[in-house]
Copies of this chain bind each other. A is one copy, B any other.
């Protein structure tokens, strides 16, 4: 490939990443429901990584619950549950680390199959923790049917999206009254400024 074409492609790719974050940011500032935002994020990640499967698990008590996906059957949402000791996904949540496997993901000793998810037979697996306030509150997985060497861009993207989803989750769990109060609250801000000046 010519150096010019290469540079053009890098620019296009970087611009695509930037647009993705801008779109997620717009969703974060909106009043959209968590489920709507998660579905949109899955679509954006799918477009960017051209993956066959994208799954978002969120922590509910001590279990990771499948909450959004581009390809999992509707009835598996809220139904597929993993303990933190199970599967590659559980490993990512436990270790708080990104995991990238370019082939034979299903042969990994940490792998766990679900008869309901087709992605159990996929070769490549990229997974990042969903983080909020330095805690793991979920996991996002990207999977490719064929072998796929994940790029630094893809890894960085999923890491950042994991952080955005974490903030969204916290915001979604604030009830309406709580948000009204936060938006117009006087005391906390005064406290913040005082602390900064003290």
Contact = CB atoms under 8 A, between A and B. Distances in A.
Given A18-B21, A178-B178, A163 B29 contact: yes
Interface in A1-44: 4, 7-8, 10-11, 14-15, 17-18, 21-22, 25-26, 28-31, 33-35, 39
**Which secondary structure characterizes the binding site on chain A?**
helix
Contacts of A7: 4, 7-8, 11
Contact of A192 (B35, B133, B164): B35
Contact of A25 (B75, B164, B182, B195): B164
Interface stretch (A58-66, A84-92, A107-115, A118-126): A58-66
A182 B173 contact: yes
A58 B33 CA distance: 25
B193 A77 contact: yes
B195 A133 contact: no
B14 A183 contact: no
A137 B77 CA distance: 35
State which size class the interface on A falls in.
35 or more
Given A67-B193, A77-B193, A174-B170, A183 B30 contact: no
Contacts of A60: 186, 189-190
Given A35-B192, A133-B183, A174-B170, A163 B28 contact: yes
Contact of A190 (B78, B160, B185): B78
B172 A171 contact: no
Contacts of A183: 59, 132-133, 135, 137, 170
Given A14-B18, A172-B188, A174-B178, 20 more contacts: A4-B4, A4-B7, A7-B8, A7-B11, A14-B15, A22-B160, A25-B160, A29-B134, A29-B166, A30-B134, A31-B134, A35-B196, A61-B186, A68-B196, A77-B193, A78-B196, A78-B197, A132-B179, A167-B167, A170-B174
A186 B188 CA distance: 27
